[in-house]
Structure 1
Amino acid sequence: MAKWAIDRSITRILRKIGILGFNKKRNIYGINPFLISTSYILLTLALAHLARRLVEKYVDDSKETIKNLLFEFIATLELCSCCFELIIDNWGVFAYAIYLLLLTIWWSSKWGNASACPYAPVEEILEGNRCLKDALKIICTQLAAAFLTFRYIQILWSFELVETHMNKAYEECTADLQVDMISGAIVEATLTCFCRLASKILGETSLKYSNIVDAIFGTLMVVAAFNFSGGYFNPALATSLKFGCIGNSFAEHIVVYWIGAFLGSAIAIIIFNSNIVQNKINTCKSKEE
């Protein structure tokens, strides 16, 4: 009798704080769908972390190229999978922004040299640090992971544990582009440029929490672009989530999410390497010393 009373009290508390109390026919045990989505994200992070550990352990350092490509594959799959679960329509922009911020901070401490973003190796080409052949290998690896992501997500969604996953595994997706193609490309290019410029400048400082500042700035840019282009700033991510979706033609997708992002990235390099910016960075470094 006492155990039954305790169980009822616990259930009542869980209902009050929003963990339980949802439709049991559409949500397993009446659990809040948000918690299941969070669990899927945590599962993905754990699997990616395990995969990285296995690569570190079993792939010899002499096979550096293969090792780096595997890290890129894991990082891209991890990024795209988590963003698939952060469906704006379900939880709103605020929840999306908070989760994206926390995830970005986590990834900045776990990915190492992996970028999960196709314009990163192209930036290295422009700066003379990578050859075209190696860059293409990385981009192809990232795209392979991006396209494979939905198969992984389909498995999770097909269990339909909660109402927000009902029919999601096989339904048609819709485009996020809310403006014309050129305007969308300008938005992606401009804010990608801001993000890359901020990252590069912060990377040159001795700021203790530069990764957190960078994550906050990037998240704000995503929120700013949300009602225009969706705010992807990453061709692999945009391709994984929105390629072939209703409302976007092939040309629109390429121009907005690929050309736009690559252009913004290239402009960021030009600005960053300009005498004005470099002199300012050197002045700040001298003051810090």
Structure 2
Amino acid sequence: MSMASLGVSGIFMVGCCVAAQIARLVSRRLVTREGIVPILVNEAIAAAELCACCFELIIVADNFGVAAYAVCLFVLTVWWGKVWGDASACPYTHMEDVLEGRTSFKEMALRTWAELMGGCCVYRIVQVFWWLEFAETHKGRAFESCSADLQVSPYLGAVIEGVATLLCRLASKTLSDKEPKFASYIDSFIGTSLVVAVYAFNYALLAAFNFSGGYFNPVLATALKWGCRGHTNFEHIIVYWIGACVGAVLSVPIYKLPIVRRFLLGEDKPKQD
């Protein structure tokens, strides 16, 4: 594939980020700053930005390989870490907040709903862009039927998503407590590395079988793979919602274990809240 096609993909992702930033600025002017509404708007914008870019990242990965995919994903995660503010575009972070007493169950549910709306609705915009076929890599993609990444037992897929999510959340909590220089870059690198590791392993074994796809975010997985042939909707929920969310929720008590904190932080006792 030509570098021009890669450039088109890059321009599209940059355009999505610019459009999302404009939407955030407009919402701050038009939406009241009090209450839950601005929080939900911010989550919906972040989820739309995430999913739009990740749709295009699939094009990059399929046509230009894991290295190009990894570089783009790393740059995007660093950017998102700087502009999203309190938004996460990921439901299980709010579940962790409920366990920690930082938010209510109602707010968690509303944030998750907003993320799903933003993430799933943005596909129509991506589809129109693909239909225009500015790049050869977009030919036939707008109305192409999608295939699921899950080719093994949904329970094994759930374990893979859960364990990887657990590791990612433990790393994020460690960086948050240690507050090292360039923490956001390190966190982005860890998250990118886990995603790329699963993707690369799947890619290497494509002729034999895939595992879960390595989404580590229920909203992203639903926006990209809900209804695709290769798994049922129930199996999708088991892998990408139950698996990832259980992994994230388990990170809360596991991170408080003395042995874990000694290993990650060098502490003798868990930090008192």
TM-score (norm 2): 0.89
Contact 2:258 2:267 in 1 (8 A): no
Paired position in structure 2 for 1:57: 29
In the TM superposition, 1:189-228 aligns within 5 A as 189-226=162-199, 227=202, 228=211
Select the structure of larger CA radius of gyration.
1
- Of 77, 86, 103, 2:48 maps to 77
Q: Does 1:269 align with 2:252?
A: yes
Structure 1 residue ranges, 4+ long, deviating more than 4 angstroms after superposition: none
Distance, in Å, in 2 between the alignment partners of 1:243 and 1:173 is 9
Q: How many residues align?
A: 254
- Of 106, 116, 134, 1:143 maps to 116
Q: Which amino acid aligns with 1:140?
A: W
Report the alpha carbon displacement of residue 275 of structure 1 after superposing the two structures with TM.
Answer: 3.0
Larger relative contact order (CA 8 Å, sep ≥ 6) = 2
Report the alpha carbon displacement of residue 91 of structure 1 after superposing the two structures with TM.
Answer: 2.1
Q: Does 1:236 align with 2:219?
A: yes
In the TM superposition, 1:15-26 aligns within 5 A as 19=3
- Deviations 1:227-259 (CA, angstroms, capped at 9, x unpaired): 121110000000000111111111221111011
Q: Which amino acid aligns with 1:156?
A: F
Q: What is the SS of the residue equivalent to 1:157?
A: helix
In the TM superposition, 1:1-289 aligns within 5 A as 19=3, 32-62=4-34, 64-87=35-58, 88-226=61-199, 227=202, 228-278=211-261, 281=265, 283=267
Report the alpha carbon displacement of residue 179 of structure 1 after superposing the two structures with TM.
Answer: 2.5
Paired position in structure 2 for 1:28: none
Report the alpha carbon displacement of residue 157 of structure 1 after superposing the two structures with TM.
Answer: 1.0
Contact 2:48 2:121 in 1 (8 A): yes
User: Unaligned 5+ residue runs, structure 2?
Assistant: 203-210, 269-273
Paired position in structure 2 for 1:6: none
Contact 1:187 1:225 in 2 (8 A): no
Report the alpha carbon displacement of residue 278 of structure 1 after superposing the two structures with TM.
Answer: 4.5
- The CA RMSD measured in Å over matched residues stands at 1.6
Contact 1:189 1:260 in 2 (8 A): yes
Distance, in Å, in 1 between the alignment partners of 2:125 and 2:256 is 40
User: Unaligned 5+ residue runs, structure 1?
Assistant: 1-17, 20-31, 285-289
Distance, in Å, in 2 between the alignment partners of 1:282 and 1:225 is 29
Distance, in Å, in 1 between the alignment partners of 2:212 and 2:185 is 24
Report the alpha carbon displacement of residue 102 of structure 1 after superposing the two structures with TM.
Answer: 0.7
Q: Which amino acid aligns with 1:71?
A: N
Q: What is the SS of the residue equivalent to 2:134?
A: coil
Distance, in Å, in 2 between the alignment partners of 1:59 and 1:150 is 25
Distance, in Å, in 1 between the alignment partners of 2:219 and 2:20 is 17
Percent identity for Structure 1 against Structure 2? 42
Q: What is the SS of the residue equivalent to 1:60?
A: coil
Distance, in Å, in 2 between the alignment partners of 1:65 and 1:273 is 30
Q: What is the SS of the residue equivalent to 1:114?
A: coil
Q: Which amino acid aligns with 2:15?
A: L
- Deviations 1:16-55 (CA, angstroms, capped at 9, x unpaired): xx65xxxxxxxxxxxx211111111011000001011112
Q: What is the SS of the residue equivalent to 1:170?
A: coil
Contact 2:151 2:230 in 1 (8 A): no
Report the alpha carbon displacement of residue 272 of structure 1 after superposing the two structures with TM.
Answer: 1.1
Q: Which amino acid aligns with 2:99?
A: L
- Deviations 1:99-132 (CA, angstroms, capped at 9, x unpaired): 1111001100010110000111111111111111
Report the alpha carbon displacement of residue 276 of structure 1 after superposing the two structures with TM.
Answer: 3.3
Report the alpha carbon displacement of residue 133 of structure 1 after superposing the two structures with TM.
Answer: 1.0
Q: Which amino acid aligns with 2:25?
A: R
